[in-house]
A and B are shown apart, each in its own frame.
Chain A
Amino acid sequence: MNEEIVRRYEQMFGDEYNKVLASFSRKYVKSIRINTLKIKQDIIAERLKKKGFVLQKSEFNENSFKVLREKYSISSTPEYLMGYYFIQDEISSVPVLELNPNENELVLDMAASPGGKTTHMAELMKNKGCIVSLEINKDRMESLKANVSRLGVKNVVALRMDARRADELGLKFDKILLDAPCSGEGMMVRDRKRMDSLNLEEYNRFSVLQKELVDTAYKVLKKNGIVVYSTCSMAIEENESVIQYAIDKGFKLVKQENMGDEAKTEFLDNKFDKTMNLAKRFYPHKHGTGFFTAKMVKNF
């Protein structure tokens, strides 16, 4: 692993930094989220158990399970093909549950593929209202299309475009999910190659893009609208620095219901808004994955 990153972890975690590094080497445990648009959670869980899968309820989402043992790949069961569940890290439910979109709303998903969060929002919206899902990459858009169809989601309008240009659509949204493109360092347990390639410069590169996405979110959100910002990164540059930028624009952080540690109000020479502790951090050695969520309202 890059020495700069190891040093960063020492600065951020103190004596615990070895635990963080060790957590990237443990066995990756898949999770599934039940698609309640098609089936009840207890029915599908029972069916999978009968087929020899060992499931454990997620602590993040009542409709998600960790897959502790697979008799064969959980992505090749008839139940998967029937759209009864989506294979998705359990932590990924958190930003959607915080956004809590309802069936009358117009919602924007600024980085939609492969569709885990879009289809989860569709469930909460009971397949009504509308989710505008943006994705710039064609192959990833095809994955989104297949997953939306497999899960029976009717309230999605998907556009292949750069989310930074969402204001060109002429729409104003009640809620926005900004699950931002990021360094992905929180998911290194799933992708260990990232341990070698990650560097500080990458944090800064993503931070620029993330702030540009915040700019667009601000433009297209209705007054009193809600945005949930999330990343699977632990970097200050991709999290607190971006949220500070959002606060300076006029967003206000609000309380979140989920667990997780308070975000940092200061780090090294950086001092952030005192409300920054309302944002949440998740760590691989404590919560299974490195993740960050911030829920904000646009007051004017």
Chain B
Amino acid sequence: MKYEKVDLEEVKTKDILLAVTFTKKQVYMVSEKAWEVIQTIQKKERFPFFAGIYIGDMIKDKYYPSISAGDYLKLKKVKVKDDALMKFTYGRDIQNRDIIQKEGELREMVRVVNKDNEFVGLGYIREFGIKRVADIGEYLRLEKRKNQN
């Protein structure tokens, strides 16, 4: 349960990245002072439930980003029309006709952004357009699940 510093070449940040293993290995982005505090309390055998921004998981040394990592990932971007983005945040893929601008190659993971370059989700480039991996609608779906429970 101990938090330890990690480096991830997929993430661009001046902040500190920490990994901790609960049921799986989770990665967080924290401020310098937060890291100092974590080191202090770990000496007292106390371990945070989380710290800073949860940016994903590590499975067998491979990094799988969470939706909150979107603003920090070193990925190419695909700019998409607003109407298609609305459907994307409900879990749908994106068709080529809805793409305004595309960087990256077939099968590459990309950041999906709106016309103002704001992060909306992650996907893979496919022949038909973008295969959805994750989107910011997850925050809402999480809240709905919690309210139902």
User: Residues of A at under 8 Å CB distance from B?
Assistant: 75-76, 78, 80-82, 106, 127-130, 132, 135, 139, 141-143, 145-146, 148-150, 152-161, 168-171
Contacts and interface: CB of A to CB of B under 8 A. Distances in A.
Interface residues of A: mostly helix, strand, loop or mixed? mixed
B139 A157 contact: no
A153 B68 contact: no
Contact of A159 (B40, B49, B66): B49
B53 A153 contact: yes
26 contacts: A78-B85, A81-B136, A82-B118, A82-B120, A128-B32, A129-B31, A130-B31, A132-B37, A148-B50, A150-B139, A153-B52, A153-B53, A154-B15, A154-B30, A154-B53, A155-B33, A155-B34, A155-B52, A156-B51, A157-B34, A157-B41, A157-B48, A157-B51, A158-B48, A170-B41, A171-B37
A168 B140 CA distance: 36
Nearest to A132: B37
B136 A128 contact: no
B49 A160 contact: yes
A164 to B, nearest CB: 15
A161 B114 CA distance: 40
B43 A170 contact: yes
A37 to B, nearest CB: 11
A168 B45 CA distance: 10
A76 B140 contact: yes
Counting contact residues on chain B (CB < 8 A from A), the size range is 35 or more
Contacts of A139: 146, 149
A141 B48 CA distance: 11
Contacts of B11: none
B33 A130 contact: yes
Question: Lowest 10 CB-CB distances: which A-B pairs, in order?
Answer: A149-B68, A81-B136, A155-B31, A130-B33, A154-B52, A160-B49, A130-B34, A154-B31, A145-B50, A130-B37
